[in-house]
Amino acid sequence: MLVIEAKLKGNKNQYKVLDEMILTGQFIRNSCLRYWMDNKDVKRNDLQKLCSVLAKDNNFPWVKKLNSQARQASADRAWQSIQRFYKNCRQNKPGKKGYPKFKKFTRSVEYKTTGYKLSADRNKIEFKDGFKASVFELWTSHDLVWYSEQQISRVRVVRRADGYYCQFLVNAQRKEAHNFEGNVVGIDLGLNTFYTDSNGDFVENPKYLRKSEKRLKKLQRRVSRRHEKGQKSQSKNYHKARKQLARQHLKISRQRKDHAVKTARALVESNDLVVYEDLKVANLVKNHHLAKSISDASWYKFVTWLEYYAKLHGIVCVAVPPHFTSQNCSNCGQTVKKSLSVRTHKCPHCGYIADRDHNAARNILAKGLEMLGAIVNSTEGHSESGGNPKATGESDLWFNNSNIVNLSHLCERRIVDDENPAS
């Protein structure tokens, strides 16, 4: 699956129509939720049926203007949030279960395979349902030309602070050829650097993000200053500031994504194994003082992209539990206690000296290799001779299915390497 995004270029009236399309999708979703709340034993099929009932209802003449598959997709959205709620209840998830809510500010509407037409050169899209939004130019850096219409399974119209976009969901297997050179790396996601690796190299935190956030704060203050309490309608200046703020949020999220993508891809391209520490980012962000730097660094996004590229390249990416990686000596294994402010690891037992994060990254890599060893052994049926069974049990928790699949690949490689010591 591949998502290709293009900006929609049209005129003001056309954009208004897109808004109506999005609102209609929201109306259908909310109506489905209402129906689910008011009736017992509602199934997905009941919601689909409700779509056609709504389309025939003269009280809501706009519903039938929306393409029938797009109507169904909106009902499916309601169904998904209902399912999510049920699942959380079944699993007895602590905290809020996410009871489905009515949406007030939906930003997108989804088409499947009908209701629109792409031009042969893929530079234009025409929406052909009852709304008659008609033809938009498509601005994208990706070449949609390479994909047939059969490969496009969904088209989503998205409203953002700086305009309207079209996302194409393309059924295409993306695989990258990977140069296996035997490089393995552990990374310590840090505050002083974006990450430091087990070779002692590091990637800096991007400064432009700090800059962008300064501006964000300024715009935030402007919006609250211009907001008149208790007034139903706000001034022109307020709305102007509000839009500026929304655009700045968009800019930052794009910058974050850009940085995360580039850094993750570079790391995966030059390694066959990447080990990182599962930091439970959500817990850390609650800590007020660290919050800023952490959200800045956007580790969560980075790790998501790391997993994505690892899959694409067919390499192994492992998360290890965060225990004592900064306190232990990566050379002799002894515990060397230090507070957050101590930047250098100096081992009194073996004399090893390294940057604090470099030492941590070495520990992280060692932990990852240990876990891999445990799993490889247990898959080969030597779990007893393969050392500590606790490590195997523990590591299961940290591996997801994708890693297991990739792991088999690594095992194969190991066998090949054993047969050809020269390779």
Using CB under 5 A, list all residues that contact Zn ion.
329, 331-332, 347, 349-350, 352
Cβ at position 401, least distance to Zn ion in Å = 37
Cβ at position 346, least distance to Zn ion in Å = 9
Total residues belonging to the chain: 423
Residue placing its CB nearer to Zn ion in the complex, 145 or 353: 353
Q: Determine how β-strand 152-160 pairs with β-strand 108-111.
A: antiparallel
Cα–Cα dist 146/123, whole Å: 12
Paired with 170 in beta bridges are: 2, 152
397: left (phi over 0), alpha (psi -120 to 50) or beta: alpha
Cβ at position 350, least distance to Zn ion in Å = 3
Expressed in angstroms, the distance from the first to the final Cα of the chain is 35
Residue placing its CB nearer to Zn ion in the complex, 293 or 331: 331
Cα–Cα dist 128/173, whole Å: 29
Residue placing its CB nearer to Zn ion in the complex, 234 or 327: 327
- Among residues 272, 248, 261, which one has the least CA distance to residue 298? 261
Residue placing its CB nearer to Zn ion in the complex, 2 or 350: 350
Cα–Cα dist 329/231, whole Å: 61
Q: Determine how β-strand 316-320 pairs with β-strand 273-277.
A: parallel
Cβ at position 338, least distance to Zn ion in Å = 13
Cα–Cα dist 90/94, whole Å: 11
Cβ at position 337, least distance to Zn ion in Å = 13
Residue 195 structure tokens? 């990450």
CB contact set of 321 (below 8 Å; sequence gap of 6+)? 277, 278, 367, 394, 397, 398
Residue placing its CB nearer to Zn ion in the complex, 332 or 404: 332
Residue placing its CB nearer to Zn ion in the complex, 3 or 332: 332
CB contact set of 154 (below 8 Å; sequence gap of 6+)? 73, 110, 111, 112, 167, 168, 169
- Among residues 368, 369, 359, which one has the least CA distance to residue 334? 359
Cβ at position 139, least distance to Zn ion in Å = 57
Cβ at position 328, least distance to Zn ion in Å = 8
Cβ at position 345, least distance to Zn ion in Å = 9
Residue placing its CB nearer to Zn ion in the complex, 331 or 402: 331
Residue placing its CB nearer to Zn ion in the complex, 229 or 337: 337
